[in-house]
Amino acid sequence: MDMKRKIFLSLVLLSILFVGCKHDNGIGKFVNAPCPIKVPDGLIDSGKFSYGYIKVPEFHNKPDGKTIELAVAVLKCQSDSATHEPLVLVTGGPGMSDIDAFVPDLFGDMGTLFLNNRDIIIIELRGLKYSKPNLLCPEIDNLQIYLVDKNLTTDEIIDLYMDTLKSVYTRFEGEGINLSAYNDYEIASDIVFVMEQLGHKKFSIFGSSFGTLVTQHLLLNHSEHLVSATMNAVVDINKGLIGMHSNSIKTLDAIFEKCKNDNKLNQAYPDLKNRFLALLKRLNEKPDTLEVKYAKDDKIYKVVFNGNKLAVWVFGQMYWDAQLPSTLHKILSGDYSQIINSPGMIFPLQDFSNGLSLSIILSEYSNFEGEDIPLNNEYVDYVKGCGTMIFTPYFLNKAKRVWKVKDLQNKSISLVSDVPTLMYSGEMDHVCPPIYAMELSKKLKNSHLYVFPGIAHSPIDFGTCGIMMMKEFIDNPTKAPDSSCMQEFNSGFNLPE
């Protein structure tokens, strides 16, 4: 072989090696790591559980660009072999950890039920607690704790939040984090990418609350990978959370009207609406002081309980409490025990990724209109009180000037799919009213919708009915599940004991 040919072949070999090294960044490889949640003895050794990280592209249209790492938990079928495609679970927020939300339950009875014939994959979405980087914002949590014993107006509070958001945004920029990469489009692509790397071309998906948006993005752009989809507390893909204030007011108004027009309820809870609105105003003028324990640090705090904090507490309570008249009756009678025992969103949500929440909402749902922030009505104190929460339109309308992300909004998303789909809504849901799921069901040709009477935000969390219906459906998505268990649910409000 002559010298020129040897040199040429050497250069070719070097170029191949160079290209190989350039792309060999570990993308798509599952790398084992210690699980942050205690794993039952022997489960890892049995080969039925693994936890680790998978690198994914920061932007999926730039596969050779920067990467991020997603935490992944794989729970293998408890039988000798799986007979059904795997199931992926996505929880709410956006900002709650999927690993924390699902893995502990899957080590118990829930795992026994769902792992009998399939694998389950839990993917910690980009920006969540265990993925790298996460978008947790301790600065925001610290500010919320600082505000616990303060009596400030909504706008004074939001001004403090804006200063904090500027600081957090600058920190993330300094860490090289592109916040425009954290949105539902990339998240849906992450799920498909991870599942393919694990050897699964097809899978079933369950999404709850915010997770229903992720599910809808999978139906929109990756439906060929889905065997079935289950959605609990369905969000409108075109509205997201922008209707949060007006939906909440409509729910309250419906509750108050029902109490007014029912003789027994009206006797038990007279003039409930006006008394509630008057209490908001009175507490803003002259707050009460409560001693409340914060579960995270086990400390007792003196909470300056003004109308804003009452609005926040009531809004949070409405996620689970479909018996609001009796709850408000106690508070209006001066009984704050329920607030003291369960302070809810008066304190920070633990390990909640506020950075992910802001990035998703402000990139996809920040074109607020007048009806999204209803201030010219009798509920103005309630709206402004809720406006101290960072995921509400009143807050976000100001935050979008600080938390700058690429605008991905498209008001004309039309989701049409024939993937078998199961949907749950709560009759009393103040964030995702049943009309969202009803409208969506018209576009999903192969869908089954169930509205649970007397239930607030999350039907699947109330007893075994929703769980067993889901299990039946994902095992056989060709037909509607047996819904006879829904007969145990009833509308209506209880009278005081």
* pLDDT tens-digit series, residues 156-199: 999 999 999 999 999 999 999 999 999 999 999 999 999 999 99
Decide if pLDDT at 21 tops 60.
no
Angle between helices 210-221 and 184-197 (to 10 degrees): 70
Element containing residue 169 per DSSP (H, E)? helix 154-174
Q: What angle do CA 426, 225, 111 make, to 5 degrees?
A: 55
In this structure, what token pair is assigned to residue 382?
Answer: 């309630």
Strand pairing of 120-123 and 447-452?
unpaired
Element containing residue 456 per DSSP (H, E)? none
* pLDDT tens-digit series, residues 338-351: 999 999 999 999 99
Q: Are 437 and 423 in contact (CB under 8 A)?
A: yes
CA separation, residue 227 to residues 80, 205, 224, 250, 365 (Å) = 22, 8, 8, 36, 29
Q: What angle do CA 379, 381, 382 make, to 5 degrees?
A: 65
Determine the 3-state secondary structure of 314 from DSSP: helix
Q: Are 71 and 101 in contact (CB under 8 A)?
A: no
Angle between helices 324-332 and 272-285 (to 10 degrees): 50
Give the model's pLDDT for residue 5: 53
Quick one: what percent of the chain has pLDDT higher than 90?
90
Give the model's pLDDT for residue 26: 85
In the DSSP assignment, the letter for residue 306 is: -
- Tally Cβ neighbours within 10 Å of residue 55: 19
* pLDDT tens-digit series, residues 227-282: 999 999 999 999 888 899 999 999 999 999 999 999 999 999 999 999 999 999 99
Q: Go through the domains of the chain in sequence order and give each one's CATH number.
A: 26-135+185-238+414-497 (3.40.50.1820), 138-174+242-399 (no CATH)
* pLDDT tens-digit series, residues 47-62: 999 999 999 999 999 9
The answer for residues whose C-beta is within 8 angstroms of residue 41's C-beta and 6 or more apart is none
Q: Average pLDDT of the chain?
A: 93
d(CA 189, CA 220): 11
Average pLDDT of span 100-117: 97
Give the model's pLDDT for residue 2: 57
